[in-house]
Amino acid sequence: MDNQKETGAHTIYRIATIRTEFAEKFGVPRQSGLVEGLRGEIVFEPAYRNAEALRGIEEFSHLWLLWGFSGNQREGFAPAVHPPRLGGKEKKGVFATRAPFRPNAIGLSCVRLEEVLWETKEGAKLIVGGADLVSGTPIYDIKPYLPYTDAHPEASGSFGQACCAYEIEVEFPQHLLEKLPEEKRETACRLLSQDPRAAYQKGRGSVYGMYFAGYDIRFVEKEGKLCVCDVVDASENVTKVK
């Protein structure tokens, strides 16, 4: 994707790129913050590698990321979409969902700021937690999260809120779990418990593969559980994160 993208009369610049442990979108949490153990590294474009632009950012615990759905390009405008959480059968207005196919392919994520690396070969970097982004996703802007105005505990979440507590039991045989680095095991299990499949894919008995942290974690649904059946090293295809 080019460093800038024309959107009507405005120009949006890619200010940074995030590196995560997801080489593809299957397996990425449906919302930010659902899997806290995830780590991402935000690397700024050369034009924005000025530490002055980050002065004071370490005083905030969370950040908003505005980013591009670079893997979901579609011509034209569809006013209604089929949210995967509703089984792909029920339509909702695109502006009543967080679907990736939008008039402007812009996403919004709230992440936890873990660390600021002030001096690296690529300039200052941000280490963030809980990001729901594929590695290589362009970042268009970063803003601090302000609890006094951004948090609304009383808010209604419609059909999205109804699905927020959903989890599926995971059966991960010990000998397969041990193929993963020890520090990645808990996060991998947490990702699987969120069930990366769309609602319409459930109950088919097919084998699925979730690429995470350089490994292809293969699983199948059996008796209402996700059962891991193999773990294959695929590290040469994944950009690793600190």
Q: Does position 72 have pLDDT exceeding 60, yes or no? A: yes
Which alpha helices (DSSP H) does 39-181 contain, by range? 147-150, 158-162, 174-177
Block residue for tokens 């940074």: 16
| 124 and 38 housed in the same domain | yes
CATH number at 232 reads 3.30.2310.20
Which pLDDT value is given to residue 31? 85
pTM of the model: 0.84
CATH number at residue 20: 2.40.30.70
Give the pair of three-digit tokens for residue 215: 């490994």
Q: Is 5 a residue whose pLDDT tops 60?
A: no
Q: How far apart are alpha carbons 210 and 212 in whole angstroms? A: 6
Domain count within the chain: 2
Same domain, 97 and 118: yes
- Whole-number pLDDT of residue 239: 47
Q: Are residues 134 and 187 in the same domain?
A: no
Same structural domain, 133 and 196: no
User: Which residue bears the tokens 């080019």?
Assistant: 2
What is the residue range of 127's domain? 4-150
Let me know if residue 37 belongs to a domain.
Answer: yes
Element housing 144 (H / E):
strand 137-144
